[in-house]
């Protein structure tokens, strides 16, 4: 190619990139190279299971499914028609109507929720002794289950941390993050943080003070903070990390929980707007379609952007795409109506059956080809920036060597490094070694 034409072509490309709604200038700190502080303010038991060892009856935590069989008649208890009427004990086999979800009150006391999401309790409109499942919210008369076990099976006392932390992210961790080439942290929080220090049960207080500490440490080490609303009221995806108590997904079904979520965003932005480390506010993590409709999500996102802008004109606003949506570009036109916005996508070579039997090289090829194409597909020079908010060096390859992990991690760093907003590894600390950025850095698998 003629060098003069090449020079003109380069200038043209530069002009196109500079017109992006998300980018405000060459010195605004992009792209971020971040790590998620997962499992810290929003507990995820798989990240460090030993923290649950001292909980009595730990097999009966929130969301556990139980089937109850009458010793007298040898039949299973059943919520007739799945809920809305009486409880019977006449089923010879157990399926969905015979399965109850636990809402734990303490180690021996529980609420039971049935298939149609009503709670089991005494019939308050009848004789007071019949058992029904008609209430849409638990109350005293829905507190039926008191589990009493052999004392030899109980372990010490239940741990209920007064400060709300799960993994201790301390100042030295921020120092480690900074010294290893990262410039930001993405901090998942739950909606109950806005009512700290006395959040509603079963949540515990202390997470707001911990987040204050994180901002202080980030400011000391010159790092950016991305606040990520990981758990919305009612749960946006039904998973435990969104604080669903029994795998139900109810966010967006009422204006009340949508407005409550906006209020949380408003609270967080107002609290940290004057911090030089507040870089972005992510309005929601991993909304799952079809339970979360595009209309309900964009209505909330519009209100969320407005809530952030009431307090900050400089912080980016991150919009997560809907998992399971058929059109990965569905938020692009909507997002073009705002400035300083980014779209968060998560890329794991893990959860789809298609990764089950892929070889080392096939996984690396998938990153180099498919992931690169996916990022290119949602990158619009006139639209929002792209953020790979979660990825990891973990995969489904068995008996991979250290060299295999190094090549796989390097491919992801290379491809995800093309995202204009940047990327964030999941997560800083984890008992599963390749999920822990600290471990993979210390063991030479990732070099930044």
CATH assignment of the domain containing 68: 2.80.10.50
Domain check: are 148 and 166 in the same one?
Answer: no
Both 36 and 63 in one domain: the answer is: no
Q: Could you give the CA distance from residue 146 to residue 111 in angstroms, rounded to a whole number?
A: 9
Residues 45 and 112 occupy one common structural domain: no
- Whether 329 and 373 have beta carbons less than 8 Å apart is answered as no
**Mean pLDDT to the nearest integer, 48-75:** 79
Listing DSSP states for 148-211 in one string gives ---GGG--S-----SS--SS---HHHHHHHHHTT--EEEEEEEGGGGGTTSPPTT--S-HHHHH
Q: Is residue 1 part of a domain?
A: no
Which residues form the domain of 177? 25-50+160-442
Mean pLDDT confidence for 374-385? 95
Selecting among 98, 240, 282, 286, the annotated active-site residue is 286
In a domain, 447, yes or no: no
Helix 171-179, helix 207-220: angle, nearest 10: 40
**Which of residues 116, 137, 153 is at a domain's end?**
153
Q: Does 149 score more than 70 pLDDT?
A: no
> Per-residue pLDDT tens for 249-276?
999 988 899 999 999 999 999 999 999 9
Q: What is the mean pLDDT of the chain?
A: 85
Within a domain: 211: yes
Residues 334 and 193 in one domain: yes
| Amino acid 347: pLDDT | 96
Which H helix or E strand runs over 370?
A: none
Cα–Cα nearest to 193, from 119, 286, 266: 266
What value does the mean pLDDT take over residues 178-201?
95
Q: Which of 120, 137, 153 marks a domain boundary?
A: 153
β 32-36/422-425 pair status? parallel
Q: Is 80 a catalytic residue?
A: no
Q: Per the domain annotation, does 111 fall within a domain?
A: yes
Better-scored residue on pLDDT, 129 or 100: 100
Q: Tell me the per-residue pLDDT of 299-347, one tens digit each, with 9 for 90 and over.
A: 999 999 999 999 999 999 999 999 998 899 999 999 999 999 999 999 9
DSSP-derived pairing of the beta strands 184-190 and 32-36: parallel
Determine the Cα–Cα distance for residues 258 and 355; give it in Å rounded to an integer.
Answer: 35
Residues 297 and 409 in one domain: yes
**Residue 4: inside a domain, yes or no?**
no
Structure confidence at residue 398 as a pLDDT band (50, 70, 90): very high
CB of 403 closer than 8 Å to CB of 409: no
Alpha-carbon gap, residue 441 to 424, rounded angstroms? 14
- 81 and 167 in a single domain? The answer is no
Q: For the range 324-330, what are the long-range contacts, defined as Cβ-Cβ under 8 Å and sequence gap of 24 or more? A: 324/288, 324/289, 324/290, 325/289, 325/294, 328/374, 328/377, 328/378, 329/377, 329/378, 329/380, 330/294
Q: Which of 240, 282, 390, 438 is catalytic?
A: 390
CB 119 within 8 A of CB 133: yes
Asked whether residue 3 is domain-assigned, the answer is: no
Residue 296 lies in a domain: yes
Are residues 226 and 121 part of one domain?
no
Which stretch of DSSP H or E encloses residue 78? strand 76-79
Same domain for 348 and 415? yes
Top-confidence residue, 312 or 123: 312
In this structure, are strands 224-231 and 184-190 parallel, antiparallel, or unpaired? parallel
Residue at which a domain ends, from 127, 153, 179: 153
The pLDDT value given to residue 155: 27
Q: Is 146 domain-assigned?
A: yes
231: which 2 tokens? Answer: 């758990």
- Beta carbons of 40 and 170 less than 8 angstroms apart: no
345-365, pLDDT tens digit by residue?
999 999 899 999 999 999 999
pLDDT for the residue numbered 170: 79
Residue 59's pLDDT is 81
Specify whether 166 is located in the same domain as 133: no
pTM higher than the cut 0.75: no
Q: Would residue 406 show up in a list of annotated catalytic residues for this protein? A: no
Same domain, 197 and 260: yes
Domain total of the chain: 2
Q: Are residues 35 and 63 in the same domain?
A: no
Q: Indicate whether 326 and 225 sit together in one domain.
A: yes
Examine the pLDDT at 124 and tell me if it is beyond 60. yes
Which CATH number goes with the domain that contains 365? 3.20.20.80
pLDDT confidence band for 21 (50 / 70 / 90) = low
């Amino acid at each position: 190619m003629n060098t003069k034409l090449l020079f003109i072509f380069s200038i043209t490309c530069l002009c196109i990139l500079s017109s992006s709604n998300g980018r405000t200038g060459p010195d605004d700190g992009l792209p971020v190279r971040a790590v998620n502080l997962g499992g810290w303010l929003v507990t995820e038991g798989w990240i460090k299971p030993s923290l649950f060892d001292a909980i009595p009856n730990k097999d009966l935590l929130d969301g556990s499914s139980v089937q109850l069989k009458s010793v007298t008649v040898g039949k299973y208890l059943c919520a007739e028609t799945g809920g809305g009427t009486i409880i019977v004990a006449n089923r010879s086999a157990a399926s969905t109507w015979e399965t109850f979800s636990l809402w734990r009150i303490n180690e021996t006391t529980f609420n039971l929720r049935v298939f149609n999401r009503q709670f089991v309790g005494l019939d308050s409109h009848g004789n007071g002794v019949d058992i029904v499942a008609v209430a849409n919210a638990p109350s005293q008369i829905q507190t039926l289950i008191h589990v009493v076990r052999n004392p030899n099976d109980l372990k010490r006392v239940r741990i209920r941390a007064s400060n709300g932390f799960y993994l201790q992210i301390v100042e030295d961790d921020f120092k480690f993050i900074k010294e290893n080439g990262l410039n930001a942290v993405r901090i998942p929080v739950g909606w109950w943080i806005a009512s700290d220090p006395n959040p509603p049960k079963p949540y515990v207080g202390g997470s707001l003070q911990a987040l204050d500490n994180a901002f202080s440490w980030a400011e000391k080490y010159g790092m950016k903070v991305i606040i990520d609303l990981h758990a919305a009221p009612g749960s946006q995806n039904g998973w435990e990390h969104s604080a669903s108590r029994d795998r139900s997904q109810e966010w967006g079904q009422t204006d009340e929980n949508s407005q409550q979520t906006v209020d949380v965003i408003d609270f967080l932005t107002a609290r940290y707007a004057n911090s030089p480390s507040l870089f972005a506010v992510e309005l929601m993590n991993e909304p799952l379609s079809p339970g979360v409709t595009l209309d309900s999500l964009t209505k909330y996102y519009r209100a969320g952007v407005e809530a952030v802008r009431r307090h900050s004109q400089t912080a980016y606003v991150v919009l997560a795409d809907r998992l399971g949506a058929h059109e990965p570009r569905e938020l692009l036109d909507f997002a073009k109506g705002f400035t300083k916005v980014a779209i968060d996508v998560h890329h794991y070579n893990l959860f789809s059956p298609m990764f089950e039997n892929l070889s080392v090289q096939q996984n690396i090829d998938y990153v180099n080809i498919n992931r690169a194409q996916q990022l290119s597909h949602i990158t619009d020079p006139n639209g929002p920036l792209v953020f790979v908010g979660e990825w990891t060096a973990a995969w489904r390859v068995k008996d991979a060597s250290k060299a295999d992990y190094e090549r796989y991690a390097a491919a992801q760093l290379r491809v995800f490094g093309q995202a204009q907003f940047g990327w964030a590894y999941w997560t800083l600390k984890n008992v599963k070694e390749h999920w822990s950025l600290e471990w993979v850095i210390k063991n030479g698998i990732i070099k930044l």
